[in-house]
Amino acid sequence: MPAMKQNNNTHSRIRRLLPHFGVRAKYATWRRQRTGQSGASTDSLAPSGLSTEKIEEQTPVHSLSEIHHPILLLDLPFDILVAIFPLLSLLSQACLALTCKRLYTLCGHILKDNSLAWPRMGRTYEPPLSQPELLRNQFLLRLENDRWLYCSGCLKLHPPRRFGFPSDSPEHRQCRYHSGVVDLCPCLSLTFFDRLRLEESLREGAFDTSLPLTIRRAFEFSVSSGKRCLMHRCSITYHAHALVYMTMMVFLDVQRLEVQKTYRLHLSRPWRARVGVGPRSDLIFLSKGMEPILLCPHFDLINFLYNPRYRALEPNNCACSSCNAYIAGPESKNGGRYIIFHWRQNLGGPTDTAHWSSSSRSKYGTYRRSWYLEHGDIYFDA
């Protein structure tokens, strides 16, 4: 028994002191052989020219505090990984999931947590989305390295070449386009680079594979007035007094991207088309406690229909003075409870960032809201 204990101590010491390469691999092979041949002597089973005494002589002796052998996560048994995972914070769990394919398979579901999702069009008031205290931004800042930097305009990670001033603080750093995010509808938002890929998709007649999957699923190819377009349909049902159905078509028109929308509204309180008719109480009733239905960052649908400020622009057309979006209509049916109108917006060309920026959600504007959440290709934008 004392001899066996001494051998175990020797092996333990050798395992601690052997270098990571070469000799350690030979020693591991020798130990596996020895496990099945307990009757053989230790030195007789050692690799050629490597007795335990020679190994100890060739290996420099260090104190245990000077030896830092890394523990590889993939070397741990599966059940230990499963036991460790719930003890980590959400951010650590997400980082662990992105370590390698095996851990992504094990932990990748955590990346679908709403706190880490890419924010889409908002509903209620909240601080600006680029603030570092938000959990998603903390996660992206952890992922920053020499290849990826956080953009407070797109709310994603970009390669450093996209930034004019990559050394800026993350909450103020924006890619060179100063682009921001355009909300096409409550369920669909685009970065400037998504816009470029949509344009390429329209030109080629097939989706660019680098376009996020959620955007590809939202659109379908169609033809309108002899032009190829991308069509999207959705409904807005969260407002207590308005049910909205929207059909959107995206065209490539003279090297610029144009969006045309048709809104069909069912209202709980009749809308009166004649100027001066309809008290402001209608607006207060329909808007109180309700999230805005945004046509663009500057126009709220209910506010546009019922606010006397805009009624002087009726009955035909008007344009948003900030982003030049153009509205035609509205047309009233069923005693003012069913409204149809059309909205057209120019998102500019590949080198025209002015139209895009004017149509982007404001970081510090009037609507400081929380946001719908979108999962998919949400972190990196190459």
Assess whether 259 and 367 both reside in one domain.
Answer: yes
> Is 313 inside a domain boundary?
yes
Assess whether 188 and 89 both reside in one domain.
Answer: no
> Is 75 inside a domain boundary?
no
Q: What is the pLDDT of residues 245-289, one digit of tens each?
A: 999 999 988 778 999 999 998 887 776 654 444 445 555 555 555
Q: What is the pLDDT of residues 181-195, one digit of tens each?
A: 888 888 888 888 888
| pLDDT for residue 68 | 54
> Is 39 inside a domain boundary?
no
Q: Are 122 and 105 in contact (CB under 8 A)?
A: no
| pLDDT for residue 94 | 92
**Percentage of the residues of the chain whose pLDDT score is greater than 70:** 62
Q: Which of 318, 319, 302, 296 is nearest to 367 (CA)?
A: 296
Q: Are 361 and 369 in contact (CB under 8 A)?
A: no
> Is 204 inside a domain boundary?
yes
| pLDDT for residue 319 | 72
> Is 247 inside a domain boundary?
yes
Assess whether 211 and 356 both reside in one domain.
Answer: yes
Write out the E strands in the chain. 118-125, 149-151, 156-158, 181-185, 188-191, 220-224, 227-236, 242-253, 256-267, 294-296, 299-300, 317-319, 326-333, 338-346, 369-374
Amino acid (one-letter) located at 200: E
17 pLDDT more than 80: no
Q: What is the pLDDT of residues 115-159, one digit of tens each?
A: 888 776 654 444 455 566 678 888 988 999 889 998 888 888 889
> Is 157 inside a domain boundary?
no
**What's the chain's length in residues?**
382
77, 99, 116: which is the final residue of a domain?
116
Assess whether 213 and 327 both reside in one domain.
Answer: yes
Confidence of residue 347 (pLDDT cuts 50, 70, 90): confident
Whole-angstrom Cα Rg for the chain = 31
Assess whether 336 and 202 both reside in one domain.
Answer: yes
Assess whether 91 and 223 both reside in one domain.
Answer: no
330 pLDDT more than 80: no
Assess whether 271 and 353 both reside in one domain.
Answer: yes
Mean pLDDT (the chain) is: 72
Q: What is the pLDDT of residues 171-220, one digit of tens each?
A: 778 887 666 788 888 888 888 888 889 999 999 999 988 888 889 999 99
> Token pair for residue 93?
């769990």
Q: Are 304 and 287 in contact (CB under 8 A)?
A: no
* Number of other residues whose CB lies within 10 A of the CB of residue 174: 21
Assess whether 231 and 338 both reside in one domain.
Answer: yes
67, 101, 116: which is the final residue of a domain?
116
> Is 40 inside a domain boundary?
no
Assess whether 246 and 110 both reside in one domain.
Answer: no
What Cα–Cα distance (Å) separates residue 276 from each residue in 158, 177, 338? 51, 43, 20
Assess whether 212 and 360 both reside in one domain.
Answer: yes
Assess whether 218 and 352 both reside in one domain.
Answer: yes
Assess whether 95 and 228 both reside in one domain.
Answer: no
| pLDDT for residue 290 | 60
Q: What is the mean pLDDT of residues 42-48?
A: 44
73, 99, 116: which is the final residue of a domain?
116
> Is 51 inside a domain boundary?
no
The answer to pTM > 0.85 is no
> Token pair for residue 91?
């951010």
Dihedral (CA of 370, 371, 376, 378) sign: negative
* Number of other residues whose CB lies within 10 A of the CB of residue 364: 8
- Structural domain total, the chain: 2
Domain that holds residue 111: 85-116
Between CA 25 and CA 29 the distance in angstroms is 6
